[in-house]
Structure 1
Amino acid sequence: MVMPMCYTKAINGLDDLRSWTLGEQRIQDHVDVYLSEATMNDVKRGFPYLISKEFATGSGHIPQFKWHIIENNRPLRLDGIEFDITPINVYHGNLPMPQNSSASNPNLAPIPEPMGNYCKEGSAPVSLLFYCRDESAAWNGRHTPSETDECDRDPGRCEEIETHWLTPRPAPELELHGVPVYPPPFVCLCSFEYALRLGPIFRIVMKTWETSPTYALRSWAYVLLHLFPAKFPIWLASFDKRHTFFALRMVFAFVTSFCEARLFTTVVEHVNDRVGRYMLFMLMFNAGMWNASTAFLPSTFAMYAVTAAASFAFAPPSSSRVHRTFAATLLFAAGAIVGWPFSLLLAVPFVVEELTVYGGDIVPESSLPKWIENRWKYLFGSGAVAASLFIPVALIDTYAYGRLTLTPWNIIRYNIFGSSSGRGPNLYGTEPWYYYIFNLVLNFNILAPLALGSLPALLVTRTFDSKRLGGSRGPANQTSSPYTLLAVRLAPFYLWFITLTLQAHKEERFLYPVYPLVCFNAAVTLYLMRGWMETAYVKATKSPYRAANTNLFQLATLFTVVLTCLLSISRAVALFKYYHAPLDVAFHFQYEELPRLLNTTGLLPVPDLTTKKHSSKYDEDAPVDLALVRQFGLRVCWGAEWYRFPGSYLVPSGVEPLLVESGFDGMLPRPFPPVVPITDPSPITKSSSESTKVPLKPSPGLFGELSHTLGRTTRLVPTGFNDLNRAEEGQAADPTECDYFVHLRLPHSPERQEVVPRVGEWEDVACFPFLDAQRSSILSRVFWAPGSLWQKGNTFGEYCLLREKQRAQIRERETKWSKTA
């Protein structure tokens, strides 16, 4: 690394290079750094821990940098280069040029004094041409350089800095104007000008075994769908990762709302307007939908696709509605291919209806063969087009994993055919047959029995009130009964629920694809039950007139809808208040603890009181730039709470999350591997004992970053992963490296109490209440109600952020920290 000055990007680059020389999987034994004596003094003064272990605070590994002092006009030879390079001093700032120099050559136009930066550094290897790097427009000796570029004032705003080469042709002209030119003209081989900005697309720091090319159970095509919404807040207003975290969930909520709105419109138009209204309010306030709709999961994407597909499929099939067949087929396929392949099971009732149910068609017997032919043709033609979604998904995953990969097939193979070899989903826990019944009651309260009873309710209505849904549009042998059409629309929920119940491995997220259908089935049952009440009332009073003028039925359905909404709101508030502590800890760490650390070490900028004076009292405090935190090398650790790790989006940049030993005997996530720059962009298929390689200079822009993430980091075959859910040696970090520790304290349940790392002395930074569910009563822990009386049934622990005391004292007493980010 050639480091001409101690500027922001060079220091960030050094910080990024630390991991290259650390641990057993280090990339190289040391990194050569070439710099002037003045720059060396700047680094030693501002970042002494990069120089030597004796200058570092606390424990941990120190990077192995090999420092080389370079001097002006003194040739040197870099390792691996077959010729000498002569460094030269180049003026930094406004380049002074005499105004009257052009008099010596009347053929040249006068050159006014430049107003901005031009040369920043230069060198003279192999005497070919003159190299000069600048932060303004290219200058060939004839024109005036542009005004000072913003890169000097705010280096963080510049993604790239151009490099310009002055060929021998203008060199004599420069000499005529008094600009010193070293005879003969010079060139520079290359210059590492800024920090390496490599790594996963979304700055994900943890890798699971499913993303290893050996198993390839996670599709990168699904991840790429979120690329634009994840990057948009950063482009829009330079937001940080935390804002991106919540922006993604806002996008998820919008997509869910759009799909629900389409489904509501279809139900109102083609099923029943009352069913549509009931379903709308159930969807709006439901706790299960509130939880599932913003989850970053393939099963949530499958829920979007199934809901959108149902908004087409719930219209009666008809030969005149070819777009219905195509749209529903495409959406079902998208949910299965891009999201979760098992969700294709929900399309079975639609396929059966499309091939066998008349729907909106009246089909005379003579037209039946042609009708069958058309239906099959439309469905399988749509299926062929929808199957083409496999092509981009397979191409993206093949490129990402470095070999031919069909992720949907890998998922099916592992979960269905893996049990014979001791693999499969049962390794990750099994649940009793009634698990999903309890789960539905928990998330949908009274809607769960209504949804489960929808088909029996339809059968009762067909038997005792057959005119409730109306009659057929034509002869019985040429049209479909409305009961048949409604039964087909109720069937997907039952098919999914029964299939999942028969599986030993059960998880709540597996039900996500049918969550909107739970509300639909429950709304149908409520509508049919209202019909029973009306029929019973008419028979009891023998007066249809009185039945039409009573509010009894309206009040009954209103009470049911309002009750389920209130229960759902209570459940959502309970989840927020009882289990929000992990997010509270992340928020406190970023917005309280890190600013306190910067303030204690004298690095917190002084606020501009002149602008704050005119601000509203309701304005939030000015955001604190946390870029200076990088120099502390902080590490936050999780032990037994690793499964509540909020994700790298909520860990500030420059802070490293680690997972330490906690007694868990299964497979833990691991950090993504480091990368090495190369000039050869050929495919990489090496084991994790060798680092991932990326091109020396990534292409600019979003797609440049994308192309050098997929196929580089993602192709690496890591060691220490298996598909048997067995713990691997070395999967947990050394707790002596931890500066902070996230800890769940359960004083009323000592048998479940997590042990704090035995190394060091830990002190509380912040603690937040966290429900001890096993010590709380069922009703008070499931629902929330105002008042202390309700909370008497609950027992709380503390979810805490701990700080290692000795290391913190050493860090905060040091005066070496630099105010340059």
Structure 2
Amino acid sequence: MAPARRRRVPVGERPPSVDEPTVSLESEAHRYERRLDRDAGNGRWDVLRGKLFHLLPSFDDAEPFADSFMLKLLSSVRIASAFYTVINDCDETYNYWEALHLMVYGRGFQTWEYSPVFAIRSWFYISLHYFPTLFLSFLLADSKVAVFYTLRVLLGFFHGAAEFMLTKAIAARLGNTISKFYFIITLTSVGTFYAGSAFLPSTFAMIMNMFALAFWLQERWFWSILSVATGALVGWPFAAVLGLPIVLEMVVLRRHQLFWTFVKYAAVAGSLVLSALYTVDSHYYGKHVIAPLNIVLYNVISGNGPELYGVEPFTYYLKNLVLNWSIALPFALVALPLALYVYIPSSIRPVVDEGKTKEIVERPTMTLAYWYRFMPIVLIGLAAFVWAFIFFSQPHKEERFLTPIYPHIAVLFAVALYALRTIIKDKFYVIPLSILLVFAVISTMRGAAVFRNYNGVVETHKQFYDHFVVFSEKKRDFTRFSDPIRVCTGKEWHRFPSSFFLPENSIDKHGNKRKVELEFIKSAFKGILPKHYPIAKRLSDVTRAIPDAMNDKNEEEPERYVPVETCDYILDFDDGTSGGPDEPNYAQRC
């Protein structure tokens, strides 16, 4: 009776059963190896269906999360995101919520970016949100605040749909365990919690990038290219950089098979998006406009540029990444070397030493096809590093500029955790899970701290809205107020959450009907403030009008201010101190 032969199982492979002949698995590996070499030689990588650390898909025996489970959790967290996150950037208020408010209610604040002279913001992007908001304005006619929050819920659901698709794609291409790690990371990350429901092109670019990554991992080329084109042209033109993985795979690595496919799909996707964008923006501006081109020209060529709005050292982004990603950041940075350390042993294929009964000899195959399964995380990491290099080197920095690479950080962190789990074996299996738990706890604490310390601004505006709108036995008396009622703010102008927190009409106990408008009073701020859009019957007449007292140099326009004596209400922050003659403590004057 021949002695039993021992077989070393490569890392990531499923061990054969006791009754399974060793030679059958060896023959399978031989056939797969020959197919790898043949298909790679013919430029056909599309048939290589292994996963990152699994030579064959069947070797991935981990169970993925159920779809219903993921959808329920995503819905719950994204609803919470809509209600429990604050507006971190006044650009979100004045460049997007105010433009949307104008489209729905006919009034709002205009920034210089929406002047037809400059035209660097896209009305097409605003229009995508117009119809759901218009429907909500009829459905929730009694409360504009409810419209505001419900739209944020819808934005969160859009983000959740992208997360769901990317999770599924990661499971199919990288592995079920990595997919589960990624899902938990993106669900608990405070960075994605705050970014997901924001009404910003950077968030839109992040979400479209997530769709692009999901389609790319599934090799659905047209939809991946269309997602990149939409994110870049409709959202933020610099987001085109995040299409780097698609370009490198189709144009460089698999050029013999996919080069002309890329050219064709890029031309079609670009034409579709650009034609819609050009049509809508040209209509609202009353001239030929390609908004993303104007953005690039302003930031790169104009000579003014974003530096007018502040410059920061490179440590600014490091601090933001640490606050939003805590311990995930160092693991994401070392994900590629950790994964490489695990990948090579997982890809060793067994070879029978014919005619002998000794242990099986093992050898790796170092071909282009050999690296096919490793390629996705290399390209994802490369795109994130290129993006970081570009924006770290820019003098003007904002937290939202890093938002589009949040999915990359989450994917790399998930890969690092899986690689670490494989390296330390079963004895220390709890360590990666402990790291994930610590990350979730830190993220939760960070989110709770921001909400506790900064949500008072929004709550104040909500209470102020109710002051005018909620009908009770003690209705207000507006006879001593101006028409419209003038609400003023000075140094707190950048914390105004939008005109959705100002009622269209308010009726007092005498039946007097008044509008409520926000005005600015003098403060220590010396930059340019937005101004009211003109009132007209047709929206296009408003958006095409060239406003006076507008500039792209961030120079103060004194006409924005009203005398403090004309204010019926003042919204201000009282910390017990005075900010000088331009920022007195108004609470002490009452």
- TM normalised by structure 2 equals 0.74
CA distance in 2, matches of 1:590, 1:629: 19
Unmatched tracts of structure 2, length 5 or more: 1-100, 350-362, 505-514
In the other structure, the counterpart of 2:583 is 755
In the other structure, the counterpart of 1:661 is 522
In the other structure, the counterpart of 2:324 is 443
Contact 1:199 1:713 in 2 (8 A): no
**AA aligned opposite 1:424:** G
Deviation of 1:228 (Å): 1.8
Deviation of 1:755 (Å): 2.4
Q: Deviations over 1:355-394 (max 9, x none)?
A: 2335xxxxxxxxxxxxx44411110111011111101101
| Higher helix content, 1 or 2 | 2
CA distance in 2, matches of 1:477, 1:452: 25
Contact 1:746 1:752 in 2 (8 A): no
In the other structure, the counterpart of 2:228 is 332
Q: Deviations over 1:430-484 (max 9, x none)?
A: 110121111011011111222222234345x16xx62246679988255644333
Mapped pair 1:382 → 2:278 = no
SS in 1 for 2:554: coil
Alignment: residue pair count: 466
Mapped pair 1:256 → 2:159 = yes
Contact 2:579 2:585 in 1 (8 A): no
Q: Which range moved further: 663-672 or 216-225? A: 663-672
Give the alignment partner of residue 564 of structure 2, picking from 720, 735, 738.
735
In the other structure, the counterpart of 1:318 is none
Q: 1:282 to 1:753 in 2, by over 3 A?
A: farther
In the other structure, the counterpart of 1:346 is 242
CA distance in 2, matches of 1:757, 1:750: 5
Q: 1:347 to 1:602 in 2, by over 3 A?
A: closer
Contact 1:306 1:335 in 2 (8 A): yes
Q: Deviations over 1:630-670 (max 9, x none)?
A: 98531111100111011001111121011111021111011
SS in 2 for 1:714: helix
Contact 1:200 1:713 in 2 (8 A): no
Contact 2:208 2:227 in 1 (8 A): yes
SS in 2 for 1:657: strand
Give the alignment partner of residue 638 of structure 1, picking from 450, 470, 489.
489
Deviation of 1:674 (Å): 2.5
In the other structure, the counterpart of 1:746 is 575
In the other structure, the counterpart of 2:457 is 582
Unmatched tracts of structure 1, length 5 or more: 1-197, 316-320, 359-371, 535-546, 604-627, 676-693, 695-707, 764-821
Contact 1:253 1:293 in 2 (8 A): yes
**AA aligned opposite 2:122:** S
**AA aligned opposite 2:572:** H
- TM normalised by structure 1 equals 0.54
Question: What does 1:246-285 correspond to in 2, within 5 Å?
Answer: 246-285=149-188
**AA aligned opposite 1:405:** V
Mapped pair 1:671 → 2:552 = no
Contact 1:458 1:487 in 2 (8 A): no
SS in 1 for 2:206: helix
Question: What does 1:793-804 correspond to in 2, within 5 Å?
Answer: none
CA distance in 1, matches of 2:394, 2:196: 24
**AA aligned opposite 1:635:** R
In the other structure, the counterpart of 2:124 is 221
Mapped pair 1:591 → 2:487 = no
CA distance in 1, matches of 2:316, 2:334: 18
Give the alignment partner of residue 397 of structure 2, picking from 506, 509, 513.
506
Mapped pair 1:231 → 2:118 = no
Q: 1:447 to 1:750 in 2, by over 3 A?
A: farther
Mapped pair 1:212 → 2:115 = yes
CA distance in 1, matches of 2:581, 2:453: 18
Q: 1:445 to 1:314 in 2, by over 3 A?
A: same
Contact 2:522 2:582 in 1 (8 A): no
CA distance in 1, matches of 2:561, 2:364: 67
Q: Which has more radius of gyration?
A: 1
RMSD over aligned Cα atoms: 2.7
In the other structure, the counterpart of 2:503 is 652
In the other structure, the counterpart of 1:515 is 406
Q: 1:752 to 1:565 in 2, by over 3 A?
A: farther
In the other structure, the counterpart of 1:563 is 438
CA distance in 1, matches of 2:102, 2:253: 53
CA distance in 2, matches of 1:231, 1:595: 22
Deviation of 1:557 (Å): 1.5
Q: 1:672 to 1:527 in 2, by over 3 A?
A: same
Question: What does 1:716-795 correspond to in 2, within 5 Å?
Answer: 716-747=545-576, 755-756=583-584, 762-763=589-590
Deviation of 1:563 (Å): 1.1
CA distance in 1, matches of 2:497, 2:231: 26
Question: What does 1:189-588 correspond to in 2, within 5 Å?
Answer: 200-315=103-218, 321=219, 324-358=220-254, 372-388=255-271, 389-419=273-303, 423-459=304-340, 461=341, 466-468=344-346, 476-477=367-368, 480-534=371-425, 547=426, 550=427, 552-553=428-429, 555-588=430-463
CA distance in 2, matches of 1:733, 1:314: 56
Contact 2:578 2:584 in 1 (8 A): no
Q: 1:598 to 1:639 in 2, by over 3 A?
A: farther
Contact 1:635 1:737 in 2 (8 A): yes
Q: Deviations over 1:734-786 (max 9, x none)?
A: 22221111111223x6569972487x9853xxxxxxxxxxxxxxxxxxxxxxx
Q: Deviations over 1:483-521 (max 9, x none)?
A: 334311222211111111011110001111111221111
Deviation of 1:331 (Å): 0.2
Contact 1:206 1:672 in 2 (8 A): yes
CA distance in 2, matches of 1:581, 1:752: 24
Deviation of 1:724 (Å): 0.5
Contact 1:265 1:276 in 2 (8 A): yes
Q: 1:478 to 1:526 in 2, by over 3 A?
A: closer
Q: 1:601 to 1:238 in 2, by over 3 A?
A: closer
CA distance in 1, matches of 2:109, 2:183: 39
Question: What does 1:602-613 correspond to in 2, within 5 Å?
Answer: none
SS in 2 for 1:327: helix
Deviation of 1:291 (Å): 0.7
Contact 1:743 1:754 in 2 (8 A): no
**AA aligned opposite 1:385:** V
Deviation of 1:673 (Å): 1.3
CA distance in 1, matches of 2:481, 2:104: 20
Deviation of 1:712 (Å): 1.0
SS in 1 for 2:457: helix
